Amino acid sequence: MIYLDYAASTPLPKAILETMIPWFCEDFGNPSSSHYQGRKAAKAVERAREIIADKIGAYPSEIVFTSGATESNNLALKGIALARRDKGRHIITSSIEHKCILSICNYLENEGFEITYVEPNKYGEITSASISKVIRDDTIIVSISHVNNELGTTQPIREIGALCFDKGVLFHTDAAQSFCKLDINVDDMYIDLMSVSAHKCYGPKGIGALYIRDLRETKVDPVIHGAGQELGLRGGTLASPLIIGMGEAVSQSGLYIDQVAIGEVRSAFLNELGKYCSYTINGGVSVIPNILNITIQKLDIQSLMRDEELAISQGSACSSMAIDISHVLRAIGLSFEQGEKTLRISLGYGYTPQKAKAAAATLAKHIS
């Protein structure tokens, strides 16, 4: 199989899996328990928390474990909206956010909040100027993804964060596609809340985290109520094997993620594909190297989707079953005809320029 969908999910390296297994089998104690097995698990969980915090320049006390970026996004937006509704009911996001963010905003609209959806330019970029035009006195939070999951466009997070800081508005970013791939420092980038997920960076599925600046001072209402875990913000027994696996993945991310090398792989793929067809790259120049969104007018999409050898995404993974083209492609001006000929190719660990050329040649079989 030729896997070209690393933006949807990455494999779990055996070395990381092996660090998790004992916490399923021998050291299975509940980290909330006061006995030795519980304390041992709790210590390992806290070590993972420290690793994740250090990766983004945060304090361990500012990290809340969740089931993944989707839950983190829910906790960030719903939690802040409910906690601050007496201060304001206006929220700003963009029209090209992950469907998770858009679904949460739709829910909040039905709860009486007003959402402003900022439109991107033709490259899928959300500028700080476009945010500045719509910030109001009653704006309580701005949410813009660090990297667009379909286009790979990297947003000017620091500029947007600085604007929000100056206006006294909280800033949230979904960093599922950038965590461990791009350098992130929450202080330098003025980030107040940030969602991350393990399975996008060679960790296990089912675990993620939400960074909350000054957690003990920033009021956030919980979405999942329970027995007080995670300072009362996320009820439920902590999934210590998954948390430990996430910590290991972050700790070892340098072994599996090399954006310079992936940039060379990307170039090799495009050069080889260019021998067979012409194509248009969507997303402009400010893109993360591992995500490539291209439109190939002569692509036989039906033939491609029947190919069991190629794992590739038409649009994002979360919209691949939709009848219409992606809302992101619509927002940057692509027609239905262009959208149905558009692919998201995402590269990852194990790819070499030679392997990328072979993948491009295989894809070319579906180009008339």
- This prediction's pTM: 0.95
What is the rounded CA–CA span in Å between residue 140 and residue 64?
Answer: 21
CB 253 within 8 A of CB 202: yes
Q: Which domains, from first to last, does the chain contain? A: 2-9+257-366 (3.90.1150.10), 14-254 (3.40.640.10)
From the CB of residue 305, how many other CB atoms can be counted at a distance below 10 Å? 13
Closest CA to 144 of 188, 175, 190: 175
Report mean pLDDT in 10-residue bins for the chain, 368 residues.
96 98 95 91 97 98 98 98 97 98 98 98 97 98 98 98 98 98 98 98 98 89 92 93 98 92 96 96 94 96 90 66 82 94 96 96 95
From the CB of residue 58, how many other CB atoms can be counted at a distance below 10 Å? 24
Confidence at residue 317, expressed as pLDDT on a 0 to 100 scale: 43
What is the rounded CA–CA span in Å between residue 274 and residue 276?
Answer: 5
72 Cβ neighbours under 8 A, 6+ residues apart: 64, 66, 174, 195, 196, 197, 208, 209, 210
Confidence at residue 323, expressed as pLDDT on a 0 to 100 scale: 66
Closest CA to 293 of 279, 306, 307, 303: 279
Closest CA to 344 of 330, 329, 334: 329
Look at the block and give the residue holding tokens 């739709």.
Answer: 106
What does each C-alpha distance from 104 to 38, 78, 323 come to in angstroms?
35, 7, 22
Q: E strands along 68-212, which residues?
A: 90-94, 114-118, 139-143, 170-174, 193-197, 208-212
CB 250 within 8 A of CB 180: yes
Confidence at residue 232, expressed as pLDDT on a 0 to 100 scale: 87
Confidence at residue 316, expressed as pLDDT on a 0 to 100 scale: 42
What does each C-alpha distance from 129 to 98, 162, 174, 175, 209 come to in angstroms?
21, 12, 20, 21, 29
Q: Tell me whether residue 180 is one of the annotated catalytic residues.
A: no
Among the listed residues 180, 201, 277, 318, the single catalytic one is 318
Look at the block and give the residue holding tokens 């330098």.
Answer: 188
Q: Is 249 left (phi over 0), alpha (psi -120 to 50) or beta?
A: alpha
CB 290 within 8 A of CB 5: no
Confidence at residue 315, expressed as pLDDT on a 0 to 100 scale: 57
